[in-house]
Amino acid sequence: DADVTQTPRNRITKTGKRIMLECSQTKGHDRMYWYRQDPGLGLRLIYYSFDVKDINKGEISDGYSVSRQAQAKFSLSLESAIPNQTALYFCATSDLQGVDTQYFGPGTRLTVL
Amino acid sequence: GNSVTQMEGPVTLSEEAFLTINCTYTATGYPSLFWYVQYPGEGLQLLLKATKADDKGSNKGFEATYRKETTSFHLEKGSVQVSDSAVYFCALSVGGTSYGKLTFGQGTILTVHP
């Protein structure tokens, strides 16, 4: 089984809808991250969490919120989706020892019409 | 702020050709440098890393040397295979309040033909 899983893998939604992307990990890592990937822009950090009680904004947090329900679960929400949030979203984890090495999930492809 | 710049893609090569993907960076302090690879339909995975100047990271025939004087971390492979076709990302991480956060380049698409 994969160490970092994301659900759903693909989602099409309409402008104004609320949507939640979920991430679960079995690696036992404390640190979790949400990125979005856009063609030609690489990956940009949305939010990150260094433990259950610590949540921080990344470089592009506007329009997004997160919830760290447990050490193993980190969810990303779009409260009112808009078309320019169409992207590939990745969850990642790291531990305190190998903090620079991040382990990525397979991604969620989100399309906002 | 911190930033990473990669060479423009896509890069198209024949099998067994030599590969170089250029990467330069701007960072405060002394960053750690990484190459991540993304195979079609998958998430990113760490390919190699270097944590201080003059270190060489290597894995699966790929190499990159941390050059502080030129602020570069170019990826090389002597003989590419079709299975190396993927998107390659250069990234950095610095300490302080940014500890544990990665800054990525825009990615370079590599296609290798038989």
pLDDT in tens, A65-75: 999 999 999 99
**Could you tell me the sign of the dihedral formed by the alpha carbons of A57, A58, A64, A68, in that order?**
negative
Please check the confidence at residue A101 and state whether its pLDDT lies above 70. Answer: yes
The per-residue pLDDT for B94 is 81
Ranking A11-15, B50-54, B98-102 by mean pLDDT, the lowest is: B98-102
Exposure of B40 by Cβ count < 10 A (0-12 exposed, 13-18 middle, 19+ buried)?
exposed
The per-residue pLDDT for B95 is 65
Pairing between β-strand A10-13 and β-strand A108-112 as defined by DSSP bridges: parallel
Q: Between chain A and chain B, how many beta carbons pairs sit less than 8 Å apart?
A: 54
Q: Where are the beta strands (DSSP E) in chain B?
A: 3-6, 11-14, 19-21, 23-26, 32-38, 44-50, 56-59, 62-65, 75-77, 86-93, 102-104, 108-113
**Over pLDDT 90: what percentage of chain B?**
76
The per-residue pLDDT for B9 is 83
B52 touches chain A (CB under 8 A): no
Please check the confidence at residue B97 and state whether its pLDDT lies above 70. Answer: no
The residue whose two tokens read 């190396």 is B84
Please check the confidence at residue A64 and state whether its pLDDT lies above 90. Answer: yes
The per-residue pLDDT for B98 is 54
What's the 3-state SS for A38-76? ECCCEEEEEEEEEECCEEEECCCCCCEEEEEEECCEEEE
Pick the more confident residue, A110 or A41.
A110
Q: Give the gap in angstroms from C-alpha B113 to the nearest C-alpha of chain A.
A: 22
Q: Give the gap in angstroms from C-alpha B93 to the nearest C-alpha of chain A.
A: 7
**Could you tell me the sign of the dihedral formed by the alpha carbons of A11, A89, A82, B100, in that order?**
positive
Please check the confidence at residue A1 and state whether its pLDDT lies above 70. Answer: no
Which residues of A fall within a CB distance of 8 Å from B105? 42
Tokens (6 digits) for A109 = 């492809």
Euclidean distance between CA atoms A92 and A106, whole angstroms: 9
Q: Give the gap in angstroms from C-alpha B26 to the nearest C-alpha of chain A.
A: 16
Mutation for B interface: A43, A56, A94, most B CBs within 10 A: A43
**Over pLDDT 70: what percentage of chain B?**
95
Mutation for A interface: B44, B51, B106, most A CBs within 10 A: B44
Phi, psi for residue A87 in degrees, rounded to 5: -175, 180
CB contact under 8 A, A101 and B49: yes
Q: What are the residues of chain A with a beta carbon less than 8 Å away from any beta carbon of chain B?
A: 4, 31, 33, 40-45, 48, 50, 58, 90, 92, 94, 99-107
- B105 closest CB neighbour out of A42, A102, A104: A42
Please check the confidence at residue B30 and state whether its pLDDT lies above 90. Answer: no
> Nearest Cα to A94, choosing from B56, B1, B29, B34?
B34
pLDDT band (50, 70, 90) for residue B101: confident
Please check the confidence at residue A39 and state whether its pLDDT lies above 90. Answer: no
pLDDT band (50, 70, 90) for residue B77: very high
Which residues of B fall within a CB distance of 8 Å from A58? 101
pLDDT band (50, 70, 90) for residue A13: very high
The per-residue pLDDT for A98 is 59
Which residues of A fall within a CB distance of 8 Å from B34? 100-101
